[in-house]
Chain A
Amino acid sequence: CSEPRSRYIRRNFTESSALLTRTHINYGVKGDVAVIRIKSSTSKVNTLSKELHSEFMEVMNEVWATNQIRNAVLISSKPGRFIAGADINMLATCKTPQEVTQVSQEAQRTFEKLEKAAKPVIAAISGSCLGGGLELAISCQYRIATKDGKTILGAPEVLLGILPGAGGTQRLPEMVGVPAVFDMMLTSRNIHADSAKKMGLVDQLVEPLGLGIKPPEEWTIEYLEAVAITFAKGLADKKISPKRDQGLVEKLTAYTMTIPFVRQQVYKKVEEKVQKETKGLYPAPLKIIDVVKTGIERGSDAGYLSESQKFGSLAMISESKALMGLYHGQVLCKKNKFGAPQKDVKRLAILGEGLKGAGITQVSVDKRLKTILKDATLTRLGHGQQQVFKGLNYKVNKKALTSFERDSIFSNLTGNVLKVDMVIEAVFEDLSLKHRVLKEVEAVIPDHCVFASNTSAFPISEIAAVSKRPEKVIGMHYFSPMDKMQLASAVAVSLKQGKVIIVVMDGPGFYTTRCLAPMMSEVIRILQEGVDLEKLDSLTTSFGFPVGAATLVDEVGVDVAKHMAEDLRKALGERFGGGNPELLTQMVSKGFLGRKSGKGFYIYQESVKSKNLNSDVDSILVSLKMPPKSEVSPGEDIQFRLVTRFVNEAVMCLREGILATPAEGDIAAVFGLGFPPCFGGPFCFVALYGPQKIVDRLKKYEAAYGKQFTPC
């Protein structure tokens, strides 16, 4: 027997690379297979830009013209990144819908050429393959993807208020079936490699490699390429068929979808659902349904035409501009603007009140930070631990984690060690309690340890007043996906926790609470004026808020809302008045604290989905009733009374320097407070709706109610 050979046999092809070096795409020839490698040297990810598109065409033309080449493999040289989508800036430079339509049509033509070419192309996918990237991949004859967590496929266009504009709406239904295609495009769900394989979105999976004779990520790409080449040869030799075997269920679904009546029912159902969810505020989902329908019912020519036209018109409307603005803002907020922290936070302690503390703990252990959770009583600590476990176990049930990974992540939640780098306090909003906690903690923590207070109302300077080292005391406020803070290491922690971050200046209520408080106050006034709860909720949701205004108070907690209102009114004065705070006070005294206590404006019961009104609140409302002012009480005015107070306060925050940029304000409002995403945040809303019109509105309300509406 011979000594093991040093070279991998599959790699024994000689490679002749094309002489020209391009910015985005290059190719080499291995035997009779052209390996086309995408590697945009100008950015971190590969995006389908105009330049990339034209280089791709250049390369393909060469490949098609070279006789020696029989087939091609399309692969990204960036580990973990295939093509993240089309370049959004490309759309931003277009001035008319026609221009955008043209962009779409060019891409359609290229991809069609690719699809129909005699030389098969295999897309070798490792990493994110989204939007335009997916559309390119499905134009290839065969798809191979690495089976790892980083490989995701999806059509997220709807999140930007547009639709897949490069043939995606036409090719996808054929590949995965109509029901699945609606699911993909309307929910913009990320599809992991193995479900993509099951759906028929990819044809073959490649196992990612672990450590070996090169860094695993790099080596996995080379392996993927080698496997793709063998498949390319197989395809060219007709040893492998690009057709895949469908399961029985799939065949049945496919069959039923050939019945026109069934199809019509599906369209109808999906449309109804979309109407219900979007309340008509987002046009893109309906257009997507329409385009898919056109393709299926009237043939692909009509489908492609409709796709490009609708793509053009969608890209120019305010909703998509707002959503794209949010996207840019989010990217911006995920960057660390403060540089590397002096000391990495490795151990984190969280002190705190039930749900919130546990929530922060959850995001921390999830990112493998050693976390210590402490609570006042063993029972409450138990609840916290259970919540963390439940969150992880949910992922196990969803097959996103194995039970073993869950256990090993859960082991990051540790016990009673105080050698921590950072303490996050999430005790109840009570200044003296916070002072006590701060003093107790400072007695035992090491010098470098950062103390972060989770407060939504108190200025940090007030909390830090009792600290021995106020420079290490910061504020951190978590919303479900959002937080704000003031220190590099805190930023680093939150980045590790996978959070979108906005940083604000210290001040009463900071930014988010300050915006929310006036709106809440207006909610109370509106209720006092006799608008019933359900109507108020439906008015707010139909404006685009994810939950109704009254429900929001319940969610936040009536006691918290009361605290917020009182503190801010004390600190910032009459502008935060409006409704009678007595309503909240009385509710708190009766124990109606919102969802957490089971009763607020509504009654909450475990396992009961429908909400019932809490009739006990009625009597309080009756006792505080005020006459409505008819000139400002129609539905639209109610909506605007809420929104303009929010927006007005946001602008004030920017002016006072609490906020650094409007983009951050938009992000925080949308992701933290649920400001309607279709307006892209308060600042974007001002721009889209027109500053003058808002001022006019404010003036009208000012005339009715006074100072609270004075435009800033």
Chain B
Amino acid sequence: MTTILTYPFKNLPTASKWALRFSIRPLSCSSQLRAAPAVQTKTKKTLAKPNIRNVVVVDGVRTPFLLSGTSYKDLMPHDLARAALTGLLHRTSVPKEVVDYIIFGTVIQEVKTSNVAREAALGAGFSDKTPAHTVTMACISANQAMTTGVGLIASGQCDVIVAGGVELMSDVPIRHSRKMRKLMLDLNKAKSMGQRLSLISKFRFNFLAPELPAVSEFSTSETMGHSADRLAAAFAVSRLEQDEYALRSHSLAKKAQDEGLLSDVVPFKVPGKDTVTKDNGIRPSSLEQMAKLKPAFIKPYGTVTAANSSFLTDGASAMLIMAEEKALAMGYKPKAYLRDFMYVSQDPKDQLLLGPTYATPKVLEKAGLTMNDIDAFEFHEAFSGQILANFKAMDSDWFAENYMGRKTKVGLPPLEKFNNWGGSLSLGHPFGATGCRLVMAAANRLQKEGGQYGLVAACAAGGQGHAMIVEAYPK
């Protein structure tokens, strides 16, 4: 019955599809409700849109996410990205020549491989005829890679896309100072010995001070941890609440890992080292242990600590995204549809990490869904304090009225459906790769636990945010 009702929907004439769409909106459509009573009780509508191609996730994989400075520390980012890409090739056996385009997200760029998507694809055995580009949007870079792919498919430009992301925090580009760089460049141009000597005479010792990649927001000069701490305080999130939430994340991740639920992880034989098979940042501790830690950012009275923040992580992810008809024609059984998505942005100072709060209601409204329709929530956990502050913001009428222009609060996602297999706090957060992990977690959870809709949401540096609806592919 379910299959009959949901699967052929895309073949139905447009009018009836719209009728079904409206049928679950309780207020706006009593007539339609009467028109299609049978559907309303049994299952939910699909989010297919008229005249727009359905985009599906065939499958997605990721390398194990490791604490930076561990097994991946001697690699370069494209090595890690390559591992994810080869893993995807093995998992899906997709013929390399059908891939139209490859898009990767990354945040801290290795300057030698600034288009890391292309370098990784070349080494991973993809066709050198497949173009590739790299996108960056802080922690939602992989989300941007995916939605760029969705756009290319939906607009008919491509049929098969590989989207992914990579981050290698074990090695970051540390530069010479601007003064030293200028001196070196001028020296390059100097023609005579005299010119060179006069340039060298300008050298000062402090030119040698290195320039580290910025850990703070460029616009506000505030580090993210600092901002998270202020955010937690602004929403009255206590230290204990944060520690409890972090413990929950680690415990659930451990459980998921032990039960073998993290099926997107593919083993990676690191050259010269053992094969890495699982994430190594999952460390359930005790509240007592966690309470002993000192605040990491706002000292001495802050509440954000090393234990309730996500850690620096190395990792890569990749996903095979196709137009539905292409996937079916190739004989694939897709895992999920990628549906409506939304990018939002706010003030990077005080609302740096509130992206999910803003993006969630918008994407739900766009899709015609409510919080109750969602069966699997996958939110990016930058900090416990950030997640809990978002919860409080979503649960506050005052905030909704004053800052979101809404009459009522967004509402809380039910915790029993929230990040059930762990999150960035415990699994790790390779900036550029997290987006694909979130989507695959939602898709896999919908397959495993049943349910139709997943909601993925994340915040990102720059005060930006993203949310996307993932719809389970009918079994």
Interface residue? B7 (CB, 8 A): no
Chain A binding site: helix, strand, loop or mixed by DSSP? loop
A7: nearest chain-B partner, CB-CB: B236
**CB-contact partner of A214 in B239, B351, B398, under 8 A:** B398
Q: B residues within 8 A CB of A214?
A: 398
Interface residue? A19 (CB, 8 A): no
Interface residue? A11 (CB, 8 A): yes
Interface residue? B340 (CB, 8 A): no
Instruction: Known contacts A211-B350, A404-B218; decide if A3 and B233 are in contact (CB<8 Å).
Output: no
Q: A residues within 8 A CB of B402?
A: 211, 215
A208 to B389, CA, bound (A): 16
**CB-contact partner of A227 in B221, B241, B247, B301, under 8 A:** B301
Instruction: Known contacts A7-B236, A230-B301; decide if A209 and B230 are in contact (CB<8 Å).
Output: yes
Instruction: Known contacts A8-B238, A11-B236; decide if A404 and B219 are in contact (CB<8 Å).
Output: yes
Q: A residues within 8 A CB of B221?
A: 402
Interface residue? A247 (CB, 8 A): no
Question: Is there contact, CB below 8 Å, between A5 and B220?
Answer: no
Question: Is there contact, CB below 8 Å, between B236 and A212?
Answer: yes
A258 to B349, CA, bound (A): 45
B324 to chain A, nearest CB (A): 38
Question: Is there contact, CB below 8 Å, between B226 and A9?
Answer: no
A286 to B247, CA, bound (A): 64
Interface residue? A223 (CB, 8 A): yes
Interface residue? A207 (CB, 8 A): yes
Of the listed residues B233, B248, B251, B393, the one surrounded by the most CB atoms of chain A closer than 10 A to its CB is B233
A231 to B299, CA, bound (A): 12
Interface residue? B364 (CB, 8 A): no
**CB-contact partner of B229 in A207, A213, A402, under 8 A:** A207
**CB-contact partner of B392 in A210, A213, A216, A231, under 8 A:** A213
Instruction: Known contacts A1-B248, A4-B391, A207-B298; decide if A212 and B239 are in contact (CB<8 Å).
Output: no
Instruction: Known contacts A210-B231, A210-B350, A211-B234; decide if A4 and B398 are in contact (CB<8 Å).
Output: no
B384: nearest chain-A partner, CB-CB: A4
Interface residue? A10 (CB, 8 A): yes
Question: Is there contact, CB below 8 Å, between A5 and B241?
Answer: yes
B214 to chain A, nearest CB (A): 12
Chain B binding site: helix, strand, loop or mixed by DSSP? helix
Q: B residues within 8 A CB of A64?
A: none
Instruction: Known contacts A3-B415, A4-B388, A404-B220; decide if A211 and B403 are in contact (CB<8 Å).
Output: yes
Question: Is there contact, CB below 8 Å, between B239 and A2?
Answer: no
Instruction: Known contacts A8-B236, A8-B238; decide if A1 and B245 are in contact (CB<8 Å).
Output: yes
Chain A 206-237 interface 0/1 with B at a Cβ cutoff of 8 Å (1 = within):
11111111111001000100010011000000
**CB-contact partner of B399 in A209, A213, A227, under 8 A:** A213
Q: A residues within 8 A CB of B251?
A: 1
Q: A residues within 8 A CB of B229?
A: 207
A219 to B393, CA, bound (A): 15
A206: nearest chain-B partner, CB-CB: B301
Question: Is there contact, CB below 8 Å, between A9 and B301?
Answer: no
A626 to B360, CA, bound (A): 85
Interface residue? B396 (CB, 8 A): yes
A305 to chain B, nearest CB (A): 40
Question: Is there contact, CB below 8 Å, between A207 and B220?
Answer: no
Q: Which of B25-67 contact A (CB under 8 A)?
A: none
A216 to B218, CA, bound (A): 23
Question: Is there contact, CB below 8 Å, between A402 and B220?
Answer: yes
A230 to B300, CA, bound (A): 11
Instruction: Known contacts A4-B388, A211-B403, A216-B350; decide if A10 and B234 are in contact (CB<8 Å).
Output: no
Q: B residues within 8 A CB of A402?
A: 219-221
In the assembled complex, 26 residue pairs joining A and B whose CB atoms fall closer than 8 Å, in A order, are A1-B247, A1-B248, A2-B244, A4-B237, A4-B244, A4-B245, A4-B388, A9-B240, A209-B234, A209-B350, A210-B351, A211-B350, A212-B231, A212-B233, A212-B234, A212-B392, A213-B392, A213-B399, A214-B398, A216-B234, A219-B234, A223-B234, A227-B301, A402-B220, A402-B221, A404-B219
Query: Which 9 pairs show the lowest CB-CB distances between chains A and B?
Result: A210-B350, A212-B234, A1-B248, A8-B236, A9-B238, A209-B234, A404-B219, A212-B235, A4-B241
